[in-house]
Each structure stands twice: as structure tokens, then as C-alpha cells.
């Protein structure tokens, strides 16, 4: 919705949302949009004649809807239909004036053209007419002395480092996936970034739990105007921690050299893996990170988001306490199976679009369950997403594979086509005609084969649980029947029964191995498993 809005216009939307929350309104109305517009830029048309007074405007709006209490800025606040009309009119005005982007001048025109709205009435009370606004909107894109003074665009100065990614720009372009769940962690991250001091955070969690997805979710919130005003005009740049470390050919960043990431108040820097460089050996990355980030963090000129594993976080606290003291930790724990299924249901559309298939709900549930049984060394949701992705690639390749006869016909068509072209070049037209007839006959036979194959084997575009288990079988080098046997027993609750029998006889410090032992037991025959269970019961009965 806001792709065409320039940074100042987006800031106006952020401020309008904040004003709405302060008035306790359920929707963003045109009068709240008006306050956001006037707060986002300076208007010479109003300033020179002394007609702009934001406090007076807020008082008039508050008198219109008295008795409301302010609400939290963290909840979603929709845009009212009348305000949507104002935004649509603003887009039409920008198109009519042949302007590439929608700015404050267009938004103000959109509000003013809602002649029956309270916001338009407020503008008329200030003596502002549509004709004046239209005249100023025409001048603002052609004159340096424009009526509306735009602040420096946050995107005018792009980062110069090759490894620097602008996540805010990617979110505005729709290049980032949606964040499913993690509301608690995201809200805490936003709270820390809005603090006056110690307003940098580190996301601590095992690989694969979704730290990067959380950062991209924050970028989407900024792009969608769903953050507090303190973060409204921020842009989020991301680099990998290895970018700070010396490469084999020399340091990528040297003290005193100009930084590829601009040190600006509207920039937040995300350093992925910053709290893991201490585990890389010899401490090569820690001091480079300290030298680069410490000066900016000390004066509070840069807000930083870092990531790391629990081990890396502990070692960084020991090796570089001067760096770690600037960060507040937000722990990201792995989701449970129900949460992982919800996450996969939300992201599977991206894999369906990429592979050109339909991913069934049962395949998602099987990926979560099977990954926990066979890929327990990795974390949810990453291990389940990995299974779905590989199963989709395998399914697509198998569906698009062709029988040998079709492949041979395609090869003969190409050979005859080349022979015909060579014969024409040598002026051997009889040979060229013969090759052309062979090529035509092969092409007709190929079309018949493809039609017969389509009728006898109708395409099945749905990925099912069996396709996920086939990937597991490939990875574990186990027969597919054995993998299916394990999952059937797991779903029937047999593992839990065996685990309870074994767990009663195993010391507490070794019980974390019980699920793996149960999986091993499930691979033997039912008779052997029953004999083992009987043996355990007998041993338990003899125990004094």
C-alpha cells in the first residue's frame, strides 16, 4: 500500500498511527492523518501566516471525541474507509501531476478534498484552500524553495559496503517473508530499541530457531508503519559478522578508514553472528568488532541488533565485556511442534510458488514430526522447513522427468534440425527436404506420446507425507519401509510406552537418551520389542 510513498510520507503515516493511539481511537481517521502530515514536515504556506498550531488542533480533535483513553502503540490499528479515500485521492493527485512518489503535499491534498470530513474543516479554519495546496504541490517538485521542506531521504545515501543489505528497502519491495508467531520476542525487541540507554539487543538462540526471521519481521513492521514513532523513520541495514573480521588478504575494515555503513541517527545496524565470532578460534573477530562498533555504541549514535548462540554469547561476555555491556539479551527458544506447524502453514506458500506445487497439510505435519525423530540434532522450525523444501524439489524433478522414448525423440528432432540447416547451407535441398520430413514425423510422434502420457498419468501437484519420508530415507540411507515403520509406531504411541518402560530403569542423567533408544527399539521386530519389554518388567518386579 505504501510502496509509492516517499520516506517523509511514510513518516506521516507512522505519526498518524501514533496520534490515533493517543486519542484512543479504533481506526486511523483523516484528522489523525492530518496531524501526522503536519508533524512530519514544515509547511511554508502555514508557517508564514502563523496558522499552524498542533496543540490547538489536538485540543479540537479531543473535544470531538471526549472521554477516550489512550491505547498501546503495539497493537494493529486499521485505516478507516474515509482515510483510505484520502490516501487514494493523494495517489491520484500524484499521478495527475506526473510525480513518481507520493509526498506530504499529495497527502494534504487528499485530506483537503474530503470536503465533508472534520479534517477538511480544520484546514478551512486555518484558511487553507485546495487551490493553494494544488499550486504548492506543483511547485514542490520543481523548485528548490518548495513550500514543503522534505528532510533528507533515508534512502538517498545507500550503504557502500558490498555485504550490506537494506532490509527496510527489501521489506518495502515485498522481498521478505512474513513472520509467524514470535509476538512476545518481537515486542520485547521493539521495547529495547525504544529505550533511552542500553537500547541495543542481541537475539540469543540455537541455529535454526528463527533469529533471522525475527529481524526480517521487524523490518516488515517498519515498512508497514506498525512501529512506535521512535522507529518510524529508521532503516535497518544488515551485515554478516565475518564482514568485520580480517580476511586472508587483509582487514576488510581498518581503523580511521571511512565506514561503508553510514553513522546516521536514522540507521539501525544488524550484525548477524556477532556474538559467535568469539568461538571462531584465537579471538580474531572479537577485537575487530570492538574496534568497529564500540565507538559508535559508546556515544549512543548507533542502534544495533546482533545475533548469537548461547555458547557464543557466554564466550563473548568473557572475551569482550566492553562490547557485551551495550546489549540487552532476548532469548529465542525453539517452538514446540504445534507452533512449528503453524509457522510452516504460514510460509509454505512461498515454497509452493517456487516449486510450482501444492503442499498438503499432512505433509507439513509429517515434516515436523519426522524431523523431530530423525533430525533431532537440529532445531525447529528450520529442520522441518528444510525437509519441505527438499521434498518439494524432489517432487518437482520427478514430475518433470520424461521417459526414455520421449528423450530419444527430442534428441532426434534436434539432430535432424541441425542436419537440415547444414544441408540448406550446402545447397543440398533434397537432403534438406528428407531431414525436414523426418523432423516433422518425429515431432508429431512426440506430441502423441505426450498426450497419451497425460491421459494415462494425470498430473498430481500435491506434496504428501510419503514424499517427506522419501527425503528422510535418502538422508539416513535407510529403506523407506523402515522409515515408515518408525513413524507409524511413533504416531501410535508405541515409543512413549517403550520410553516409559526404559525410563523407569535408567538413571535421571541418562534419560535424555531414552527417545533415541526407543527409536532404535522400534527398528527391531515386534516380537523382539515385546521380549525386551517383558524382560524390563521382570527385572523391575525382582527389584527389592
- In which domain, by residue range, is 389 found? 337-472
> Is there a domain that residue 409 lies in?
yes
> Is there a domain that residue 160 lies in?
no
Q: Are residues 449 and 529 in the same domain?
A: no
For 168-204, what is each residue's pLDDT tens digit? 888 877 778 778 888 889 999 999 988 888 888 999 9
Q: Are residues 245 and 394 in the same domain?
A: no
- Who wins on pLDDT, 380 or 459? 380
> Is there a domain that residue 1 lies in?
no
Band (pLDDT 50/70/90 cuts) for residue 388 is: very high
For 280-326, what is each residue's pLDDT tens digit? 654 445 666 666 676 667 666 678 898 989 888 888 888 778 777 78
> Is there a domain that residue 479 lies in?
no
Total domains present in the chain: 4
* The pLDDT of residue 389: 92
> Is there a domain that residue 156 lies in?
no
Cα separation, 146 vs 43, in Å, equals 9
Q: Are residues 319 and 341 in the same domain?
A: no
> Is there a domain that residue 405 lies in?
yes
CB atoms within 10 A of CB 496: 13
Q: Are residues 297 and 234 in the same domain?
A: yes
Q: Which of 331, 364, 385 is the last residue of a domain?
A: 331
- Who wins on pLDDT, 3 or 256? 3
- Who wins on pLDDT, 175 or 496? 175
Q: Are residues 240 and 284 in the same domain?
A: yes
Q: Please provide the average confidence, as pLDDT, over all residues in the chain.
A: 75
Q: Are residues 211 and 322 in the same domain?
A: yes
* The pLDDT of residue 387: 92
> CATH code at 305?
3.40.50.300
Q: Are residues 374 and 466 in the same domain?
A: yes
Backbone φ, ψ for residue 482 (5° rounding)? -65, -40
Q: Are residues 199 and 322 in the same domain?
A: yes
Q: Which of 94, 125, 149 is the last residue of a domain?
A: 149
pLDDT at residue 453 tops 90: no
> Is there a domain that residue 486 lies in?
no
* The pLDDT of residue 251: 43
Mean pLDDT confidence for 47-66: 69
> Is there a domain that residue 285 lies in?
yes
Mean pLDDT confidence for 202-209: 90
Q: Are residues 423 and 351 in the same domain?
A: yes
Whether the Cβ atoms of residue 171 and residue 220 lie closer than 8 Å to each other: yes
Q: Which of 85, 117, 149 is the last residue of a domain?
A: 149
Q: What is the pTM for the complete model shown? A: 0.57
Long-range (24+ apart) CB contacts under 8 A made by 34-39 are 34/108, 34/111, 34/119, 34/122, 34/123, 35/61, 36/11, 36/12, 37/12, 37/104, 37/107, 37/108, 37/111, 39/12, 39/15
Amino acid at each position: 500500500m505504501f510502496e509509492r510513498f516517499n520516506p517523509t510520507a511514510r513518516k506521516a503515516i507512522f505519526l498518524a498511527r501514533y496520534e490515533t493511539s493517543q486519542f484512543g481511537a479504533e481506526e486511523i481517521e483523516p484528522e489523525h492523518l492530518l496531524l501526522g502530515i503536519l508533524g512530519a514536515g514544515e509547511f511554508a504556506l502555514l508557517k508564514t501566516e502563523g496558522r499552524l498550531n498542533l496543540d490547538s488542533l489536538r485540543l479540537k480533535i479531543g473535544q470531538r471525541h471526549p472521554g477516550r483513553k489512550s491505547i498501546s502503540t503495539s497493537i494493529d490499528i486499521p485505516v478507516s474507509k474515509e482515510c483510505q479515500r484520502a490516501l487514494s485521492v493523494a495517489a491520484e493527485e500524484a499521478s495527475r501531476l506526473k510525480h513518481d512518489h507520493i509526498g506530504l503535499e499529495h497527502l494534504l491534498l487528499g485530506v483537503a478534498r474530503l470536503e465533508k470530513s472534520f479534517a477538511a474543516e480544520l484546514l478551512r479554519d486555518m484558511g487553507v484552500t485546495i487551490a493553494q495546496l494544488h499550486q504548492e504541490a506543483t511547485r514542490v517538485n520543481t523548485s528548490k524553495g518548495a513550500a514543503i521542506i522534505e528532510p533528507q531521504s533515508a534512502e538517498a545515501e545507500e550503504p557502500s559496503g558490498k555485504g550490506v543489505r537494506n532490509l527496510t528497502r527489501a521489506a518495502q519491495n515485498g522481498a521478505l517473508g512474513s513472520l509467524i508467531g514470535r509476538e512476545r520476542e518481537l515486542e520485547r525487541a521493539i521495547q529495547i530499541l525504544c529505550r533511552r540507554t542500553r537500547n541495543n539487543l542481541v537475539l540469543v538462540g540455537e541455529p535454526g530457531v528463527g533469529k533471522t526471521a525475527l529481524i526480517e519481521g521487524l523490518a516488515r513492521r517498519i515498512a508497514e508503519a506498525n512501529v512506535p514513532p521512535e522507529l518510524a523513520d529508521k532503516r535497518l541495514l544488515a551485515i554478516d559478522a565475518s564482514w568485520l573480521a580480517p580476511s586472508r588478504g587483509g582487514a576488510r575494515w581498518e581503523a580511521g578508514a571511512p565506514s561503508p555503513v553510514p553513522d546516521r541517527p536514522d540507521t539501525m545496524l544488524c550484525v548477524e553472528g556477532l556474538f559467535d565470532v568469539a568461538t571462531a578460534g584465537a579471538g580474531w573477530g572479537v577485537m575487530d568488532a570492538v574496534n568497529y562498533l564500540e565507538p559508535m555504541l559508546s556515544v549512543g549514535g548507533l542502534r544495533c541488533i546482533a545475533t548469537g548462540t548461547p555458547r557464543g554469547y557466554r564466550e563473548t561476555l568473557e572475551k569482550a565485556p566492553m562490547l557485551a555491556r551495550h546489549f540487552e539479551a532476548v532469548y529465542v527458544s525453539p517452538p514446540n511442534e504445534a507452533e512449528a506447524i503453524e509457522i510452516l502453514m504460514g510460509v509454505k506458500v512461498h515454497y509452493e510458488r517456487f516449486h510450482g506445487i501444492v503442499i498438503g497439510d499432512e505433509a507439513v505435519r509429517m515434516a515436523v514430526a519426522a524431523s523431530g525423530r530423525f533430525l533431532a540434532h537440529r532445531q525447529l522450525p528450520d529442520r522441518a522447513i528444510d525437509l519441505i523444501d527438499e521434498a518439494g524439489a524432489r517432487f518437482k524433478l520427478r514430475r518433470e522427468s520424461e521417459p526414455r522414448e520421449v528423450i530419444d525423440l527430442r534428441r532426434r528432432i534436434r539432430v535432424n534440425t541441425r542436419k537440415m540447416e547444414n544441408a540448406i547451407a550446402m545447397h543440398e535441398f533434397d537432403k534438406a527436404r528428407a531431414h525436414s520430413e523426418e523432423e516433422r514425423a518425429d515431432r508429431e510422434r512426440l506430441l502423441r506420446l505426450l498426450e497419451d502420457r497425460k491421459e494415462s498419468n494425470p498430473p498430481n501437484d500435491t506434496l504428501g507425507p510419503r514424499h517427506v519420508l522419501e527425503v528422510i530415507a535418502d538422508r539416513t540411507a535407510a529403506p523407506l519401509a523402515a522409515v515408515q515403520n518408525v513413524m507409524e509406531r511413533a504416531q501410535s504411541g508405541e515409543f512413549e510406552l517403550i520410553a516409559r518402560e526404559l525410563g523407569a530403569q535408567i538413571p535421571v542423567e541418562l534419560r535424555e537418551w531414552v527417545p533415541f533408544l526407543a527409536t532404535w527399539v522400534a527398528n527391531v521386530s515386534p516380537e523382539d520389542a515385546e521380549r525386551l519389554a517383558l524382560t524390563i518388567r521382570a527385572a523391575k518386579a525382582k527389584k527389592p
